[in-house]
Structure 1
Amino acid sequence: MRFLRSFGKFALGSLFSLSLTLLLLISSLSQLTEYSNLKKIFSEALIEIRTKEVNITEAYHLIKYACKTQERINLPIDNDTIELNCSQVEKVEERDFLNFLATKIFEKFYFKEYPCSVIECLKKGDERNFLIIFSKEGNLFFKKIQNYLILITAASCTGFILVLENWQERAKGLGKVLFSTGLFYFIIKYSYSFFLPAQVREIKIVQDIINVFTQNFLYLFIFGILLLILGYSLSYQKRKVKGRK
């Protein structure tokens, strides 16, 4: 019986830790690829780049002039084009033009329809299809996987709690799992500097993405420490009461 309980602790604890890690990674991807979050990151990065490369005032007046004789214009952006509705352009002030343009460029690739599913696109290894990760379709895919992982994590957590004998052991057991999983905060936060060149690390969009991934693990790490403190405090109090008897 003791062997089965020990095996159950190990198996369920390992499954809980693994599913929790995957859940946080997928949840971070889901959070990152939400329209509002990704648009903010993308727009800020694009504005920073374009203000260095393009005379915004000149571009604004050229587009406004072109819209006097057309209802829609196609604006070349790198190897693609975006369509601007002139009725919308007419309502945009010069100070808001870059944000307007950044939103249009972002929506062009975020709502793009791909000829393959997320898994199929990634298998092809084509750089253009790889961007499906940062699309609406990619976001829906991550949310779907997230729902499955929530069920697995909840089930393994419940089983892990049930095989532990008492509340102090449960607090310590859960605390150890959360603490060890939360260590990924430090792994991600400080190891990516070894894999990315300095000029890439300094790009704001890269820093924003790293922050999304590390934040959830930091919360887990802190909560794990609190549970460990609670568990060992309960054990100490229990031994103290027994000692008095």
Structure 2
Amino acid sequence: MVLKKLLIALTCFLISLTILSYISSEIFLSFTEKNFIKSIVDKQLKENLKKEDVEMIIKACEINPSFSFSVHQINFSCSEFIGKNYSEIINYLSNKIVNEFYEREIECEIIECLQSGKFDVILSKQGNIFFEKLKTFSFYASILLALFLLFFTKSFVSWSRKLGYSLLFTALPLYAFNFALPKTLENITPEEIKEFIPIIIEKLYYSNELLLVLSILGFLLIIISYIIEEIKKRKVKAQEL
């Protein structure tokens, strides 16, 4: 009996853990998408490379076609800008910077890189693939654990109640955390990167929706368990009369 209770408690804990892993991987997956990283680079280029600067580069190219320059340690030649306007040049620069950074070859596995302090590996194609795999694993692991919980409890009422509480205890604290995060970020974020706060908050909206769904599902499972339990009690009382 004690072992069974421990197994049920452990399974509930692992369900919460896999749900947390799924939500976290979903958030990181959105932050490591190539298009998202490109939008950040586009914004930075437009702020730091004004139209006048590009016109100066084009004039320098007209004078000396062999002229070359670098942006973010990536070299560019004049031939790459022939016939392009400002917007096209910004887009071209952004694509090349993102492609070389995002598609770069990484010599270590994600976990090894993080352990050695190479946190920029997260913002790479390899990082994106890692979070995609983690998301898939977490989803199927949570389903499997929910089935294990049903096997251990051997009762739909007990199963739905315990699963419901597991969902609630996972989702509600995270939902409260996400609710408080925007204000916290505004207070602790350095001025030079505060412009990215709206982008971060926008990416968290999806997780808030997911957490809300999990919370509602948790409440429903708990309510259903009590309704079924009450119906069973009334049936027993009716039979005793």
TM range (shorter): 0.7 to 0.9
Indicate whether 1:181 and 2:142 are aligned: no
1:103 is aligned, of 80, 92, 95, to 95
Alignment of 1:1-245 (within 5 A): 2-35=1-34, 39-40=35-36, 42-56=37-51, 58-59=53-54, 62-63=57-58, 66=61, 75-78=69-72, 80-83=73-76, 86=79, 89-90=81-82, 93-125=85-117, 129-183=118-172, 184-191=174-181, 193-194=183-184, 197-198=188-189, 199=191, 200=193, 203=196, 204-211=198-205, 213-245=207-239
Change (3 A) 1:141 1:93: same
CA drift at 1:225: 2.3
Helix, strand or coil: the match of 2:74? strand
> Aligned equivalents of 1:116 and 1:85: distance in 2?
35
Compute the RMSD of aligned alpha carbons. Answer: 3.4
1:51-100 C-alpha deviation (Å, 9 max, x unpaired): 333323651673497389869x854224x11547946x557554444334
Pick which of 99-108 and 210-219 moved more.
210-219
Q: CA contact under 8 A between 2:45 and 2:94: conserved in structure 1? A: no
Helix, strand or coil: the match of 1:116? coil
Helix, strand or coil: the match of 1:66? helix
> Aligned equivalents of 1:82 and 1:212: distance in 2?
38
> Aligned equivalents of 2:68 and 2:220: distance in 1?
56
Q: CA contact under 8 A between 2:161 and 2:221: conserved in structure 1? A: yes
Helix, strand or coil: the match of 2:108? coil
> Aligned equivalents of 1:64 and 1:233: distance in 2?
77
Change (3 A) 1:164 1:114: same
- TM-score, normalised to structure 2, is 0.75
The gaps in structure 1 that reach 5 residues or longer are: none
Query: Which amino acid in structure 2 is aligned with residue 55 of structure 1?
Result: K
Q: CA contact under 8 A between 2:32 and 2:125: conserved in structure 1? A: yes
Aligned length: 234
1:193-227 C-alpha deviation (Å, 9 max, x unpaired): 44662545552333244445544333322322232
Change (3 A) 1:124 1:192: farther
1:159-184 C-alpha deviation (Å, 9 max, x unpaired): 11122243232222211111111121
- TM-score, normalised to structure 1, is 0.74
Identical positions, percent:
20
